[in-house]
Structure 1
Amino acid sequence: MVAMSWQAFFTGKRVTVMGLGLLGRAVGDAEFLALHCAEVTITDLKDKEALATSVARLTRYPNIRFVLGRHELSDFEGRDFILKAAGVPLESPHIAHARQHGIPVEMSTALFAAFAGIPIIGVTGTRGKSTTTHLIHHTLLQAGVRALLGGNVAGVSTLAHLPRAGEYEVAALELDSWQLQGFGERRLSPQLAVFTSFMEDHQNYYPSMERYFADKAHIFAHQNKDEGVLVASPQVIAAIGAYGYARQVPKRVVIAQPTEEVPPTPQLLGAYNRWNAAVAYHALRVWGLSYEDIQHGFASFRGVPGRLSLVREWEGVAFYNDTTATTPQAARAGIQALVERHKRVVAIMGGSDKRISEEEYAALADLIAREEVQVVLLEGSGTPRLARLLEERGAAAEGPYGSMDEAVSRARELARAGDAVVLSPAFASFGLFQNEFDRGEQFEREVRG
């Protein structure tokens, strides 16, 4: 049987895109669809004003129709497929309506993987997936491999790369749990699956940890058992067994640990990044890179913005952006890494509640109290939880402040030479900010200002 080409799949199709957003990925997806499909309807609960920058890029396409500020059930009928954005609610009545009408529900990165015709290295994990994916991609490039970076990368539409996929030897894709829903729809997994970590997160979206793991498991669950490879940390291997997926792993499983065999990554801070480097190392060895090539790539890797990245040093104070630390576990790891390097840490924290357990926030508050971390709080629905736990432990906390400029200004006043100031929220960004990237960008503007 001859596989369908991507051109045959998209040409002449009528499509509804559910979710446009402001990160740029969906805009690139929509541009691709407008070029290759007959009709494209874009619908989003945000209105035209809120989505102005995204809409402006698409108004030149005559076959795009906008339905903004609402969803209409009629837009989920009579379509060849629905392209669902990440984060659409699990129980969306509009997606359910489409399924009732026999309309396939697709997601953009999974469509790329299905039609690209090149090997895929897919990386997921509650924490570490961004750094690990970028480290793998960087090392491949340094070794002369034509590698594409895609998936959960701000501003990058992986689908838009489909016409040029043949120019690459491999694609390194960062896959969050939402994007993996699309792989599940197609019963598709990357040939080389990398699973960095699994811990409590997104409980404001998922009804249970079991449902969260079910989406994560698509990274390996549909692999060819004889040809697929899973690289994972011991913690993930334990989770696979605990959640009942042991029979779905491929025959070849590589358990990655931060041994002396793993080359150093001088620009990455913290013990948790040694684990990220370990899974990246073993994935690259599976791919076929030599130890020398990996060592060279790791030595020159400078990290990923917003992942405990150094923004600047000013009057002896180091400022770090860790805006993607949206859980107490991630904030704890980043703060611990800085405590080991600096005299004292001033942490800007707080944000929107993700319904993560009290135990995890208690462990974060314990670390803050023990290491005498000075906390500057941002307003948010989750902030009172942390403020209460800090007060119970006698830990120093100020705020909450209603803007990033106020928080950074106070953090500057508290810091002394030899200290570190870090944006380490431990919560989601919704409320004061458009998204976590906007939060990090605002922090960096204030720090550099």
Structure 2
Amino acid sequence: MKNQEVQKQIVSSSFGAKMLVVLGAGESGVGTALLGKQKGYKVFVSDRGKIGKKYKDILLNNEIEFEEFTHTERIILAADVVMKSPGIPETVPLVLKLKANGISVISEIEFAAKYTSATIVGITGSNGKTTTTMLVHRILKDAGLNVGLAGNIGVSFAQQVAEVSHENYVVELSSFQLDGIEKFSSHIAILTNITPDHLDRYEYDFEKYVASKFRITQNQKESDYLIYDADDIAINTWLKQHKIKAKLVPFSLKKELAYGAFLKGNNIIININKETIKMPISTITVKGKHNVKNTMAATMAAQLLQIRKEAIKESLANFEGVEHRLENVAKVKGVEYINDSKATNVNATFYALECMDRQTVWIVGGVDKGNDYNDLLPLVREKVKAIVCLGVDNQKIKDMFGNVVDIVVETAGAEEAVKVAHKLAEDGDAVLLSPACASFDLFENYEDRGRQFKSAVRNL
């Protein structure tokens, strides 16, 4: 349908119905379109790129107007409200024009939340949010709660609100999604950590990124909870400078806490709800210090929702981890191949290298988001025997580690990177894909990167 025809149809039918424009026809966009139509909005979906067949079929089957390969401004600027895909920056001219015209530009999370009275556990952080989200969801589901998994993971939050009446949601929230909220709130908010990431979207100003993460608590009430990492400098600094209404629930690996979760010897101790839980670290299936923290956060969220400690322990013991996060792929000729493609920033890669207990061939690189690699230098000196670069522009990596590691090789794809790593690794070594960068130079996304890596390993 031509743009003029689309505009005419929308304008003629918009009397008496508010108009919702959805920018971006991916998972969150199409889910929002479905919910918007159900709630009586006149919906128009606009994507500057090609709309995938799966999503186009949904729009056609539900008779939702859409366009692809363009944004028709006259139609979009007629909106009452605009839901913007998280991938579209706040600074693009169209978004700035919408805001200048007084049109509300929100995220899927904001739009969907007003149509559900479910209890929400919202989880954000630079790293660990996917694992923590899946842990919380697993515990609640195992305990028999009616619970949905949404946000950056699984089926669109908006689509679930439209089609399923969950009583609880566990929602993974990126800073981009939080930038688009106005009234959204979680009964329980979890802030796993804050380290530099996505600085290219925040004018290379870390403080702006920190403020974005703390939007998760801006609408919380005194009856709500904020679970947070008490060892995190950025979090502690912000909390000293700002007052929040929610009850603070800290966790720590470094200090004993009268209220919250902490590490004592080889045991996790949790003191909330007048009930103490003691769990040996050895019973946690996902390894690494960062996963001890993720476990603490998830356990406290479950306790606050009145889940029995026996049920929590059982779920934790059976949790198998997240695809593309320190995922053991295969052992080939004595070499362990590990897929950590989800490590799209330096801090995530720090955790991965910290977990390595053998000499490592490290596959790194991609789209740099303002990375500072200095924190990795001690771990690289200690554990990395060779670096395989996987990106279009690897100069920053070569400059940082060229004098630390004897072998640095550039490759142009996952298959070549795996073959080179295979030649460099010896019996007893590990090959670790932990890119510390976004994937969009050579891959569709980090999942595509991880799956290509796994396929290449299995073809060795």
Query: Normalised by the shorter chain, which TM-score bucket?
Result: 0.7 to 0.9
2:432 is equivalent to residue 422 of structure 1: yes
Name which of 406, 421, 429 aligns with 1:411: 421
Name the SS for the 1:373 alignment partner. Answer: strand
2:359 is equivalent to residue 344 of structure 1: yes
2:31 is equivalent to residue 28 of structure 1: yes
Deviation digits for residues 324-375 of structure 1, max 9, x if unmatched? 111122112102202x2xx322221111110123xxx123233212223321
Q: Counterpart amino acid of 2:63?
A: P
Structure 1 position 246, deviation (Å): 4.7
2:172 is equivalent to residue 174 of structure 1: yes
| Residues matched between the structures, number | 420
Q: Structure 1 stretches of 5 or more lacking a match?
A: 1-10
Q: Tell me, in whole angstroms, the C-alpha distance in 1 between the residues paired with 2:200 and 2:454.
A: 28
Tell me which protein shows more strand as a share of its residues: 2
Pairing 1:5-404 to 2, within 5 Å after superposition: 12-21=17-26, 24-33=27-36, 37=40, 39-47=42-50, 51=52, 54-66=55-67, 68-153=68-153, 156-166=155-165, 168-183=166-181, 185-186=182-183, 188-207=184-203, 208-224=205-221, 226-236=222-232, 238-243=233-238, 246-257=241-252, 258-259=262-263, 260=267, 261=269, 263=279, 264=281, 266-338=284-356, 340=357, 343-357=358-372, 361-381=373-393, 383-399=394-410, 401-404=411-414
Are the structure 2 counterparts of residues 241 and 346 from structure 1 closer, same or farther at C-alpha, using a change threshold of 3 Å? closer
Structure 1 position 413, deviation (Å): 2.2
Q: Tell me, in whole angstroms, the C-alpha distance in 1 between the residues paired with 2:347 and 2:369.
A: 13
Are the structure 2 counterparts of residues 213 and 414 from structure 1 closer, same or farther at C-alpha, using a change threshold of 3 Å? same
Deviation digits for residues 231-289 of structure 1, max 9, x if unmatched? 111134x5345236754323521111242226345331211111111111222222222
Q: Tell me, in whole angstroms, the C-alpha distance in 2 between the residues paired with 1:177 and 1:278.
A: 22
Q: Does 412-421 or 142-151 show the bigger shift? A: 412-421
Name the SS for the 2:427 alignment partner. Answer: coil
Deviation digits for residues 134-190 of structure 1, max 9, x if unmatched? 00110111122221111111x521100113453x3311111111111232x23x321
Name the SS for the 2:75 alignment partner. Answer: helix
Q: Structure 2 stretches of 5 or more lacking a match?
A: 1-15, 253-261, 270-277
Structure 1 position 15, deviation (Å): 2.0
The root-mean-square deviation of aligned C-alpha atoms, in Å, is: 2.3
Q: Tell me, in whole angstroms, the C-alpha distance in 2 between the residues paired with 1:251 and 1:180.
A: 17
Q: Tell me, in whole angstroms, the C-alpha distance in 1 between the residues paired with 2:246 and 2:173.
A: 22
Q: Tell me, in whole angstroms, the C-alpha distance in 1 between the residues paired with 2:40 and 2:418.
A: 47
Mapped contact 1:13–1:80 kept (Cα < 8 A): yes
Q: Tell me, in whole angstroms, the C-alpha distance in 1 between the residues paired with 2:38 and 2:220.
A: 32
Q: Counterpart amino acid of 1:29?
A: T
Q: Tell me, in whole angstroms, the C-alpha distance in 1 between the residues paired with 2:331 and 2:142.
A: 29
Q: Tell me, in whole angstroms, the C-alpha distance in 2 between the residues paired with 1:412 and 1:345.
A: 11
TM-score by length of 1: 0.87
Identity %: 30
Q: Counterpart amino acid of 1:253?
A: L
Q: Counterpart amino acid of 1:134?
A: M
